[in-house]
Copies of this chain bind each other. A is one copy, B any other.
Amino acid sequence: MPPASRTTSSARPMRADARRNYDRILAAAAAAVAEHGAEASLEEIARRAGVGSATLHRHFPSRQQLLEAVFREKVETLCATAADLATGPDPRTALATWLRAVARHAVSNRGLAASLMRGAHDGDTTLGATCHTMITEAGANLLARAREANAARPDVSITDLLTLVNAICLAVEQEPDGQAQADRLLTLALTGVHPAGETN
């Protein structure tokens, strides 16, 4: 949702050129982030988008905000997935499946994990839901159901789980076989290092 699409009520709609540049920057950012991860050079993004660096900074005052815009769609997908899974019969599997989905997205979209972690507490609490809060809320529901079904320790928070998932993804992000690694480590964390836990 760009800041002032025509559906928005309050603020005046964006000027056409502003809107065009906004979209260009977003596209360039997506490409750059896919290529270089969350630390991609903002100047290069501006260059690729064919705009001045000032324009980029005006539209996205912080790197975090740019990343959030880039990933918003993916995050919404994950939230939708969570809602879907919440209607299933097995809360335990639902939670595990969802966390795996989060991991898959985070690994295949470089920088997503970083974006999901650093949420509000970076001074970017501005308007609108951050990726962080969006995903947290989506997961909370799944976790609550799992807990009711006795499929999750009661002292575990959704923040804990997401931190764990993102930590893992961040750690394996630049390994060649990151996807497999992340999956294995996540399974490990879910079922425990020590044996005798159930086989998930």
Contacts and interface: CB of A to CB of B under 8 A. Distances in A.
A197 B188 contact: no
- Could you say which of A92, A164, A171, A172 has the most chain B C-beta atoms within 10 Å of its C-beta? A171
Contact of A189 (B92, B170, B188): B188
Nearest to A168: B167
B196 A197 contact: yes
Do most interface residues of chain A lie in helix, strand or loop, or is the interface mixed? Answer: helix
Contacts of A192: 189-194, 197
Interface size class of A (residues with CB under 8 A): 20 to 34
Contacts of A188: 153, 156, 160, 164, 189
Interface of A: 92, 117, 150-153, 156, 160-161, 163-164, 166-168, 170-172, 181, 184-185, 188-198, 200
